[in-house]
Amino acid sequence: MAQALYRKWRPQTFEDVIGQDHIVRTLRQALRTGRMHHAYLLVGPRGTGKTTTARLIAKAINCLADAEQRPCGACEMCRAVSEGRLMDLVEIDAASHTGVDNIRDLLEKVTFRPTQAQFKVYVIDEVHMLSTSAFNALLKTLEEPPEHVVFIMATTEVHKVPDTILSRCQRFEYRRIPLAMLVEQMQKITTTEGIPTEPAALDLIARAATGSMRDAISLLDQMASAGGEVTADYVRLMLGAERREVVRGLLEAWVEGDLNGGMEIINRAVDGGADPRQLARQTANFMRGLLLIRLGAGETWTDPTDAERPFFIELAKKTQPHRLVEAVRLFSAVAADNRRAGWQPQLPLELAFVEATLEPEPPPQPVMAAPAPVPAPTAKAVPTATATTPARPVRSVKPRPQRAASAAPAPRPAADSRSASPAAPAARAATLDAALVQRIQNHWREAIKHVQPVSLGALLRDAEAAGVDHDGKLVLAFQHTFHCERVAQDANQRTVEGELSRLFKQPLTVRCMLAKDWKALAAPTPAPAASPTSTTPPPPEPPPDEEDELIQRAQEELGAVPRTG
């Protein structure tokens, strides 16, 4: 039974370790000068050489050859490690031995001297899976182990390793292996193993491997196992990648606004066995190239061949950077989306294509005219239910002029809100218009549900959005002093302001006061335009206003009867 290529080709000397020169150099220097550390932590993405290095260290420190040549690969110790029979090399799979008992076992034996070699080497692979107590049990020994012991830990997820462990180890960071090095190594393997390959095929495999040598060799192994020559066509078939012409066609259809053409390209490709997400990734990649060309940095995009470049330059002339950005975003989202694709895996790609191709909506309407942004009762259940405001919501969200205008009242820091000057609300209060206050009132109950933490929301239930004061601040009128004071606390007030501003798409500052104070304040001079509602005591139930579409719809379509009184 054949051994997997990636195991067969596991580097046996430091020279063979690829793309990690910074680590190899440090280690060799340490070996030469005899300054090996007693604990190493090897960190990096999959397939970059962590386990390999761990074994190489085990070899090198026990090697019987001269310091310069370690590991020699020929002496008794080196061969014992290569063949997996050195008793003093203990390799532990931390992912299946996560518990503290496993570590205690290990620690009991640490004190015994090595049987054959000079050093006992403990390799703890996937160390991030150890439990907290297992990590802690390790701490003392890791700090000051017996002098015949070396610990080497390897992990892909260093953020799960406690700081106390990190600070006791010498840490090596592994990098993804560059494309060219992956290709070079695969060439070496194919020549030695006698696997006929097309150079283009190796390039495709290396791209798919995203910097992991094991992925690359494993893919190569898989392609070779079918027998015969490894051709680029075959690799594409296996990976579900599409030929570049097809991707170019899709790009062209997008630029020309040819919906029908694009949809047909997608469906033909998928019927032909292309993987929709791969296709999306390839398309996004090309679009990124167009964007670079469009922004005058075309030469940094090295992907296209010389023959293709004029085509892309022509195409780039016909696009707009903002549409490119949007399209790249849409297609990358499809490529990155790993939710279950459903029964028709091409659907997300089709949606992205149509959405990217559709002409941008007419200039965004001002936000205030749009239907209430406040969550309708349904919005909680379906986060994206608001998607009925179709097409490109992203674009219409940013009403710059509006923001500039209404940002004016914001800057002043809220002084002690309750003892603020008791002047009557003057006509100046117009920055927050009456309609908005009305809307806030109508949707108050729903709005406070969105306030986190929930306890703050509960405090707000005691309040009403009563009106606007002369500083243009939204007045929250409370029934009880306790609630009022709590909400008026700096941090809480900021949270409330943030949340309200977000919900009503307008920067808002609030002022907390007691309802009776506000009534007293508002009564003498009812500001006519500013806050019509401020004259009446805080209405317990806002009247079913014609603005409130939700209520209106409920009445018309469901025959709901508004409760009055």
Rounded to a whole number of angstroms, the minimum distance from the CB of residue 346 to other proteins is 9
Grouping H, G, I as helix, E, B as strand and the rest as coil, residue 41 is strand
> In the sheet that 510-514 helps form, which strands lie side by side, from edge to edge?
463-468, 474-478, 510-514
Residue whose CB is less far from other proteins, 42 or 530: 42
Residue whose CB is less far from other proteins, 64 or 129: 129
Closest by CA to 281, choosing from 338, 233, 220, is: 338
Residue whose CB is less far from other proteins, 287 or 335: 335
Residue whose CB is less far from other proteins, 213 or 522: 213
Rounded to a whole number of angstroms, the minimum distance from the CB of residue 386 to other proteins is 9
Q: Quote the DSSP letter at residue 405.
A: H
Rounded to a whole number of angstroms, the minimum distance from the CB of residue 214 to other proteins is 5
DSSP characters over 102-164: HHHHHHHHHTSPPSSSSSEEEEEETGGGS-HHHHHHHHHHHHS--TTEEEEEEES-GGGS-HH
Residue whose CB is less far from other proteins, 33 or 388: 388
Residue whose CB is less far from other proteins, 345 or 498: 345
Rounded to a whole number of angstroms, the minimum distance from the CB of residue 355 to other proteins is 6
Residue whose CB is less far from other proteins, 187 or 344: 344
Assess contact for 41 and 196: CB atoms under 8 A: no
Rounded to a whole number of angstroms, the minimum distance from the CB of residue 5 to other proteins is 9
Grouping H, G, I as helix, E, B as strand and the rest as coil, residue 42 is strand
What is the spatial distance between Cα 376 and Cα 446, in angstroms, rounded to a whole number? 8
Counting beta carbons within 10 angstroms of the beta carbon of residue 364, is it exposed (0 to 12), middle (13 to 18) or buried (19 or more)?
A: middle
Rounded to a whole number of angstroms, the minimum distance from the CB of residue 442 to other proteins is 19
Helix-then-strand count for the chain, H and E: 26, 8
Residue whose CB is less far from other proteins, 340 or 400: 340
Reading the block at residue 92, the tokens are 């532990």
What is the spatial distance between Cα 445 and Cα 459, in angstroms, rounded to a whole number? 12
Rounded to a whole number of angstroms, the minimum distance from the CB of residue 196 to other proteins is 10
What is the spatial distance between Cα 298 and Cα 88, in angstroms, rounded to a whole number? 56
Q: Quote the DSSP letter at residue 450.
A: T
What is the spatial distance between Cα 205 and Cα 182, in angstroms, rounded to a whole number? 9
Grouping H, G, I as helix, E, B as strand and the rest as coil, residue 511 is strand
Rounded to a whole number of angstroms, the minimum distance from the CB of residue 330 to other proteins is 11
Residue whose CB is less far from other proteins, 404 or 558: 558
Rounded to a whole number of angstroms, the minimum distance from the CB of residue 421 to other proteins is 47
Rounded to a whole number of angstroms, the minimum distance from the CB of residue 268 to other proteins is 9
Residue whose CB is less far from other proteins, 7 or 140: 7
Assess contact for 130 and 103: CB atoms under 8 A: yes
Q: Please compute Rg for the chain using Cα positions.
A: 34
Residue whose CB is less far from other proteins, 219 or 530: 219
What is the spatial distance between Cα 2 and Cα 193, in angstroms, rounded to a whole number? 13
The 3 state secondary structure assigned to 210-278 is: CCCHHHHHHHHHHHHHCCCCECHHHHHHHHCCCCHHHHHHHHHHHHHCCHHHHHHHHHHHHHCCCCHHH
Q: Quote the DSSP letter at residue 286.
A: H
Residue whose CB is less far from other proteins, 390 or 453: 390
Rounded to a whole number of angstroms, the minimum distance from the CB of residue 132 to other proteins is 14
Residue owning tokens 């990190």: 166
> What is the helix, strand, coil percentage profile of the chain, to 5?
55, 10, 40
Phi-psi category of residue 391: left, alpha or beta, with phi > 0 → left and psi -120 to 50 → alpha? left
Rounded to a whole number of angstroms, the minimum distance from the CB of residue 7 to other proteins is 7
The answer to whether the peptide bond before residue 11 is cis (omega within 30 degrees of 0) is no
